[in-house]
Structure 1
Amino acid sequence: MMKSDIEAITSIYRHVNDAMVAKNTAKLSELIKSDTVLVHITGYVQPIKDWLAQIEFGEMTYYSWEEKSIEDIQISGDRASLVGRSNVRARIWGAGPSTWSLQIKMEFERVDGKWLVSHQTASTF
Structure 2
Amino acid sequence: MQPSPDQNAHDDVTTAFRAYLQAMLDGDTHALDNLLADGCTLTHITGYVQPKDEWLSQTRAGQFLYHGTRAKWRLQMTMDYAREGDTWSVIRSAATTW
Structure-2-length-normalised TM-score? 0.85
Partner of 1:56: 60
Match for 2:88 among 110, 115, 125? Answer: 115
Structure-1-length-normalised TM-score? 0.68
What is the number of residues matched between the two proteins?
94
Alignment gaps of 5+ in structure 1:
65-87, 90-97
What is the RMSD of the two structures over their aligned residues, measured on CA atoms? Answer: 1.6
Structure 1 runs of 4+ aligned residues shifted over 4 Å read none
**Alignment map for 1:1-125 (pairs within 5 Å):** 2-64=6-68, 89=70, 98-125=71-98
Q: Higher helix share goes to which structure?
A: 2
| CA distance in structure 2 between the aligned counterparts of 1:100 and 1:19, rounded to whole angstroms | 20
The offset of 1:124, in angstroms, is: 2.4
Identity of aligned residues (%): 33
The offset of 1:59, in angstroms, is: 0.5
Q: Higher strand share goes to which structure?
A: 1
Listed one character per residue, the Cα deviations across residues 36-90 of structure 1 (whole Å, up to 9, x for unaligned) are: 10011110000011111111111011122xxxxxxxxxxxxxxxxxxxxxxx55x
